[in-house]
Structure 1
Amino acid sequence: MSSFEGDPPAVARASVLRDQSELALVAVERTRMPMVVTDPRQPDAPIVLANEAFLKLTGYSASEVIGRNCRFLQGADTAPEAIEAIRRGIAADDHFVTVELLNYRKDGSAFWNQLEISPVHDKAGGTIYHFASQKDVTKRRRAQELEVVERQLLMEVDHRSMNALALVQSILQLTRADDIGAYSAAVMRRVDAIARVHRLLALSSWGGTLLTELIAEEAQGGHVHLSGPQLKISPRLAQPLAVVLNELFSNARQHGALLMSEGLVAVAWNVTSCELHLGWRERGIHPVAPVPQVRLGLSLVEAAIRKQLQGTTDLSWGGDWFEARLVIPLNEGDVEIAGGDR
């Protein structure tokens, strides 16, 4: 039977088939894509060929690469999950194994490697080589990570703004005064408390603030006794608690125990697995009475605890004493005690 017109001679086709392996190796050497060829028939599947692009990417010379397993590119922060995905894919003899993992150059610098591995089979179906291509996708990964951080930051800013606006709204709704000057002064005093806690939180990059610092900001040197563990509170708690403490101290200075030098305010707190308990007690020779101004101020305390923090308040008076017991449910990360999270 004669060959079709234009077909290459049979001897030429056979020659091409014999040269396929050599041609493939030449292609690997010359491609701009970093690539290596490993031999799974040898112990530890060493690299038997590494092209110039791979050497340029990793910073190694050919003599430092040939004969070694590719794991030398792994380092301290290479994810075990990615390594396991490679192991499973090779063991299953998958047509393609694609994994993104953190690898390291000879100089120790890290890069994100989009690794693709494919097996090369002989005529009997046995795996004789693995081709592995590498692609530096560090810029894309960083752009994705930056996008996530920016999105989280915008969400956090929005959350903080909404919390602050809700507090200001409560202040405007619950502030009462006989004239515009007194009203303005009362509003500004309460808004200033929000500004002070924001300054404290900014010092920690909004990582939280110590409850004792928050109390000190509002106590303004008054005679105050503190009792409780060293407690760092989250911004979610700090903002409304600043308004609450400002109101309690303001009432104590104007109508209660701190009006007289002999007066005393005691603030105590403790934390359970799911709640923050905050206690306030005033004692002094000046009678603490629920006068209208105090009642209005305490309505703001109750609004901040109940509406902002979904907590509860218990307020009580005696002849020369006043007590407030506040219970606030805690979310994960709301408090940190003596270096330990709660």
Structure 2
Amino acid sequence: MIDEICVVGFPSRLGGADTELDHQIRVWQHLGVKVHLVHTAQLDHNCHLMGMAERGCVIHSPCDWNACQGKHVISYCNAGFLENLDEISSKAKSTTFVNCMTWLFEKEKECHRRGLIDFFVYQTDHAMQKIAHDLRTLNSDYRPRKINPYFHLDEFPMTHDRDEDTFRFGRLSRSDPAKFHPSQLWIYETMVAPVMKSGVMLGVDAGIRAKIGQEPEWIRAYPPGELSAQEVYRHSHCIIQATETYENLPRIGFEAMASGSLLIVDDRGGWRELVQHGVTGFLCADQRSFVYHASRAAYEKEERLAMTRAARSWLESKWSLESSAADWKKFFDELSGFSGA
């Protein structure tokens, strides 16, 4: 197995790909792999808060591609990696790109056509299947690998004592209009509860309001980064989140399940990987289904609590350190014998 890896990019508590990178570094270090980090931007306050040097990572200067010399290089959905792949690939033993989306970047397609990406890693079969045909068409030398990701539970403790005097719900995402269904507020206003309703929405700006409208006074809306994700989960009995996107494997799903917030989400894409309908959450085919299941969660407290306990247990067993480490070890064993195209 390889004994070190160079990551182009930097872990974060903001954004799905960088959050996932943070958790996977724990797996790599568990396997005894030394992790080098080369950011594609200046190290900001958020980067310093991650404490990566204290956790044993080797931090290189931003865009110091010499750090890739003779190493296996991996990058999570990072545009700077793709833009500089000519130089990176000329120094690296191998290059691996983790596309956390269900669509292809134009630069990703160009780099693959030119043979600059040795391996593609995916977290789900459905994401790999959606884009595999196009990549094989561009270059038959296509090496996709599926690796079960690890979710580090410790940063998202289970909340047991939410106020039951109001039915408390939340939603959170990037302030991308596609992340917000135009009927999101209609769902919140139409669903019913035995007590007053209280909502928190994180990731709302003027562009989002232009799409979905102005939230009522019983919903507090915040721009990106103004609250932590943990604060949203501590507030929320449920995460009620309708979108227009086809998600890969939403990190907020992991976070909500760990925190005891019941997921009421779209019946498609990566949500199907996370939610066992009626057991660990509810999958909704349309807006009326959202209204029904949100109302049910409001009235059936004991059912809701049983489902959140089941979701936490499902998370602990399915996305454990041991499960992910077995997949990463197999991949690293393959890298150790890789000699290029």
Short-chain TM bin: under 0.3
Q: Which has the higher contact order (CA 8 A, sep 6+)?
A: 2
Larger radius of gyration: 1
TM-score normalized with structure 1 length? 0.20
